[in-house]
Structure 1
């Protein structure tokens, strides 16, 4: 954060505020971890704060401290809307465009509160009075740690905050293997462990509590994997029928796209997931090295994210989407040489 943003934020928090903290739709570990971590901090300085998520989040995050206090907009719209209407200060975390909250977008656009954005994705929009945006950061959770350090002191980080922030950093760095993991990231994580983050327990709760349906879907996904050796690319498809046959639950497909990158000589991995309720194909892109999936997603699939991790969507059918995708690869062949 720059000096002006720090000064403005301190001024805003110097008096009691009604605060709403919002993650993106389909929140992941970084979104839930950062919002809850910030929520605990704001409560500790006697602010009236609430976390409102657009929709529910995966079961493997349901253990997190404070998660039971999150208001789910789609399940409790009237209550959530009142919080947003009454809010004097609105934090948006782990996203940088209001379209990322889905059906909450209209409510936020009509809100009269002052916005503060904390996010590490590319191309932030300009809706916030204070914008703390840094694409070099491993995670929004690392940024929340920096935020607390900048406006106050990391001595305010309790074990609950530490557990929340550690979870988001761990999940958004792929257990510390992505290129966004820096020496600073490790120093932050070390301090969080010193402050009470139960790192081994967190890893077990996130990664070692699979349901049978999750493993069955993983098996189906790996069976469907297509390897395009000429393009150093692997992609996976999951149809709505396959999800339904395996009793799909929210979060069951989390991380499956990364399996493509475990193959030798693969630098581009994609998963296409059919969602008939929304009438779209949801797409996750991952890469290694210099190939920017952020640019690819923005150019062709109405998405974006980071250079090595991004998302997108398609309004075409699943077969039409994969055909379109394969047809695009030839123009990227030189960039996909590795």
Structure 2
């Protein structure tokens, strides 16, 4: 049905898509109705063109193969900005955090929320437990900088000690509570705000006072950059902050080659006007020789499975943030003609981290969801425990085989 409805053509330029939410196995009709309502919200939040079946025990997804249409209206961003302003104004302080093993988009969005909070004359702190290779150049811009407080960046424990009933906890670049920097903060805080550009999965942050999850956006930095433009009277952004957010957009879009829309470039232009410097950003993100070699090895050893799926292992031995290299190697493999999707398995902290990438022909999100992960349609990932890199590759191949046989790919 989801595929058939796309064939509807009565002169429309855009393909018709259908979203459905189904609730079942509830204790009553009312509960089934609530399940169905939650299911349709999930289907739309994940980009539409899919059916979601929710029961008391599980959530099952069907479809979701289409790229979501870009949205050109900023009405929602303006409404969310005003709501955020009201929430922060009515509280004492703000603590902002991203996901574990933070990346540039996550940290850049944290910095953007910091600037919004300071513009509203409230204190703000960023929770960051481990500084990764990718975020280190940016973090150093804010440490030992007279423009910023000495305690700008806190550990999880320091944040837990500081949180009160009048604290707003803002979560960026993630809507899955278990992989936030400090999940305990979500239970301790009474006011939680979520900004994210990933498709919602089964596990989401419950009872958020304000939630702005938009899968159409290229990055969370793009979303926060838009919100900045609607806060108060002309928020003054420092060059360091503009660089951090611009870098977040640049990295998440693979230098503006993936998932970029009109609003992505508008956000980038706004940051450029406020002091973002491409030369500074390029110098910040140069790799060292060992990282470059590890990435090159992963690309050179890749196997092209079924003539369309590039799969490889990235050795992270002796490197501080091998998962970042894995993601970069997955992007590189897409440059090979004929490759529809790429998968890089990286061992880190006794787990296998899988980075999955595609351009437009394959929805890697649904593949990663089969393995317990998720993400946007063409940039997804998952984590595996108690397996080696070789075993992880075998699992990925088996999953691809099954999905191809069942017509899901």
TM range (shorter): 0.7 to 0.9
Any idea what the Cα deviations from partners look like across 1:81-103, whole Å, max 9, x if unmatched? 2123566101000001211226x
Report the CA distance shift for 1:5/1:253 in structure 2 as closer, same or farther (over 3 A): closer
Aligned 1:168-207 pairs, distance under 5 A: 168-178=248-258, 180-206=259-285
Aligned partner of 1:46 among 106, 112, 121? 121
Q: Give 3-state SS (helix, strand or coil) of 1:188's partner.
A: helix
Aligned: 1:308 with 2:381: no
Report the CA distance shift for 1:97/1:336 in structure 2 as closer, same or farther (over 3 A): closer
Deviation at 1:59, TM superposition (A): 5.1
Report the CA distance shift for 1:324/1:252 in structure 2 as closer, same or farther (over 3 A): closer
Any idea what the Cα deviations from partners look like across 1:142-188, whole Å, max 9, x if unmatched? 1101222233355533323321211111111111000x211221122
The whole-number CA distance in structure 1 between the counterparts of 2:239 and 2:121 is 18
Report the CA distance shift for 1:70/1:255 in structure 2 as closer, same or farther (over 3 A): farther
The whole-number CA distance in structure 1 between the counterparts of 2:195 and 2:143 is 20
Q: TM-score, normalised by structure 2?
A: 0.72
Aligned partner of 1:271 among 344, 349, 360? 344
The whole-number CA distance in structure 2 between the counterparts of 1:133 and 1:59 is 24
| Structure that is richer in helix per residue | 1
* Structure 2 residue runs without a partner (length 5+): 1-75, 145-150
Deviation at 1:4, TM superposition (A): 6.2
Q: Give 3-state SS (helix, strand or coil) of 2:89's partner.
A: coil
Report the CA distance shift for 1:253/1:28 in structure 2 as closer, same or farther (over 3 A): same
**What is the number of residues matched between the two proteins?**
320
Aligned: 1:260 with 2:333: yes
2:375, 2:381 within 8 Å by CA — same for their partners in 1? yes
Deviation at 1:22, TM superposition (A): 0.4
The whole-number CA distance in structure 2 between the counterparts of 1:168 and 1:154 is 22
**What corresponds to 1:232 in structure 2?**
308
1:138, 1:172 within 8 Å by CA — same for their partners in 2? yes
Report the CA distance shift for 1:183/1:61 in structure 2 as closer, same or farther (over 3 A): farther
Deviation at 1:12, TM superposition (A): 1.8
**What corresponds to 2:247 in structure 1?**
167
The whole-number CA distance in structure 1 between the counterparts of 2:298 and 2:244 is 30
1:40, 1:160 within 8 Å by CA — same for their partners in 2? no
**Residue range with higher mean Cα deviation, 184-193 or 262-271:** 184-193
**Residue range with higher mean Cα deviation, 157-166 or 281-290:** 157-166
Any idea what the Cα deviations from partners look like across 1:77-126, whole Å, max 9, x if unmatched? 53232123566101000001211226x22x12431330111111111623
The whole-number CA distance in structure 1 between the counterparts of 2:225 and 2:264 is 10
**Residue range with higher mean Cα deviation, 31-40 or 302-311:** 31-40
Deviation at 1:51, TM superposition (A): 0.2
Report the CA distance shift for 1:267/1:152 in structure 2 as closer, same or farther (over 3 A): farther
**Residue range with higher mean Cα deviation, 217-226 or 47-56:** 217-226
1:269, 1:285 within 8 Å by CA — same for their partners in 2? yes
Q: TM-score, normalised by structure 1?
A: 0.86
Report the CA distance shift for 1:70/1:171 in structure 2 as closer, same or farther (over 3 A): farther
The whole-number CA distance in structure 2 between the counterparts of 1:223 and 1:231 is 16
Report the CA distance shift for 1:258/1:5 in structure 2 as closer, same or farther (over 3 A): closer
The whole-number CA distance in structure 2 between the counterparts of 1:141 and 1:152 is 19
1:217, 1:253 within 8 Å by CA — same for their partners in 2? no
Deviation at 1:222, TM superposition (A): 2.4
The whole-number CA distance in structure 1 between the counterparts of 2:207 and 2:261 is 29
The whole-number CA distance in structure 2 between the counterparts of 1:43 and 1:22 is 16
Report the CA distance shift for 1:6/1:42 in structure 2 as closer, same or farther (over 3 A): closer
1:162, 1:196 within 8 Å by CA — same for their partners in 2? yes
Report the CA distance shift for 1:70/1:172 in structure 2 as closer, same or farther (over 3 A): farther
1:89, 1:115 within 8 Å by CA — same for their partners in 2? yes
Deviation at 1:252, TM superposition (A): 4.5
Deviation at 1:72, TM superposition (A): 5.1
**What corresponds to 1:325 in structure 2?**
396
Report the CA distance shift for 1:137/1:253 in structure 2 as closer, same or farther (over 3 A): same
The whole-number CA distance in structure 1 between the counterparts of 2:357 and 2:327 is 13
